[in-house]
Structure 1
């Protein structure tokens, strides 16, 4: 009875399963101190966390071991609620860095959150007291917040242009000789960057 009422804790295997040919990765001096933290809070962006994490790992490890290093040290960047989530992922279900990020995004940037960002992008409106520069920066922050929004460049340009106040829409057109809508999408993005910067200075 005592043993049944007080079971000893059995160790549960990690969700990470390294491939048999995975190289051995030594922990480098100072790595843990500069790993970014992700706690799973509502205002945290998992895409930004992964990018910051990859930058740190990329500065410590050579290309031939980098995938293994990312997989091995990612758990150390998770804290609190996010660390708890990692322990709930099915044992031995993740075998690559791609699978890890996929699970991570699915948990901390689920489809309904992606839809919220998409709605914010497609319904963008420049504020009445907002300069062209401020509007452009806010719009870029919105679509960069979720890189998987799925909108093509031409559509992003269109949403921004249509959301401008008439005065700034006219300014954008006049500044490029009335040819803004004839530009290639990538060129239009570069042009908006340039004109917004110029209008700010």
Structure 2
């Protein structure tokens, strides 16, 4: 009889271990409440975990949204930990729900696990290769090329390329007309200038969006 009772007990559905992966520190502030407006803002731009989504951009957006509202005596990181689940949907939400209970103790823990899940080393390698092999397109203006190059850099903020390497890569990706234009603005060889001077020259030239310096065939 005892054995039957024990077996029945073992086969019962568990009623414990439903803790979330994210541990939100206890909030002792009086009258603390997450407003619906803030929750709606977080949910307006959810991350689904698709290949073409940028997890870095999602963290930047989430930080910007959650920093718009301050709560007295409540750390901003506690608010972020509390709200982050609502910024996820689809495969991304499933990932977080499958993380071990109480395994994420800080905001830094959460960001690290999120980025490493949705930005694996293979993606870093591919983007680094795209940056290294960057070339201005035939019908692309200087402004468009600079904007596209910066999009690649923003998409992989841990690319590891120095500012000098970035400027050298971009300059050598340009058609001869745009290279000559940069050299002229620099009063000589563009790459002989200091990186900050080079950056100022590029940004000044990129503001002239109407200038369409196309490659010569």
Q: 2:215 corresponds to which residue?
A: none
Tell me the SS of whatever aligns to 2:68. helix
- Do the aligned residues in 2 keep the contact of 1:61 with 1:69 (CA within 8 Å)? no
- How far off is 1:199 after superposition? 5.3
Q: Comparing both structures, which one devotes a greater share of its residues to helix?
A: 1
Q: 2:38 corresponds to which residue?
A: 31
Counterpart selection for 2:60 from 51, 54, 61: 51
- Do the aligned residues in 1 keep the contact of 2:55 with 2:119 (CA within 8 Å)? yes
Structure 2 unaligned residues grouped into runs of 5+: 1-6, 212-217
Structure 2 CA distance for aligned equivalents of residues 60 and 48 of structure 1: 20
- Do the aligned residues in 2 keep the contact of 1:133 with 1:196 (CA within 8 Å)? yes
- TM alignment of 1:7-86, pairs within 5 A: 7-8=13-14, 10-19=16-25, 26-35=33-42, 36-62=45-71, 65-86=75-96
TM-score, length basis structure 1? 0.89
Tell me the SS of whatever aligns to 1:200. coil
CA distances 1:27-60 after superposition (whole Å, capped 9, x unpaired) = 1241111113111111111111111111111001
Structure 1 CA distance for aligned equivalents of residues 185 and 167 of structure 2: 16
Structure 1 unaligned residues grouped into runs of 5+: none
Structure 1 CA distance for aligned equivalents of residues 101 and 115 of structure 2: 18
CA gap of 1:23–1:37, structure 2 versus 1, over 3 A, is farther
- Do the aligned residues in 2 keep the contact of 1:15 with 1:86 (CA within 8 Å)? yes
Higher mean C-alpha displacement, 133-142 vs 100-109: 133-142
Figure out how many residues of one structure are paired with residues of the other and give that number. 200
Counterpart selection for 2:160 from 137, 150, 157: 150
Q: Does 1:159 align with 2:166?
A: no
Structure 2 CA distance for aligned equivalents of residues 90 and 184 of structure 1: 50
- TM alignment of 1:124-135, pairs within 5 A: 124-135=134-145
TM-score, length basis structure 2? 0.83
Structure 2 CA distance for aligned equivalents of residues 76 and 156 of structure 1: 36
CA distances 1:116-158 after superposition (whole Å, capped 9, x unpaired) = 1111111111112222111111111111111111111111101
CA distances 1:84-115 after superposition (whole Å, capped 9, x unpaired) = 00012122221111110100000111111011
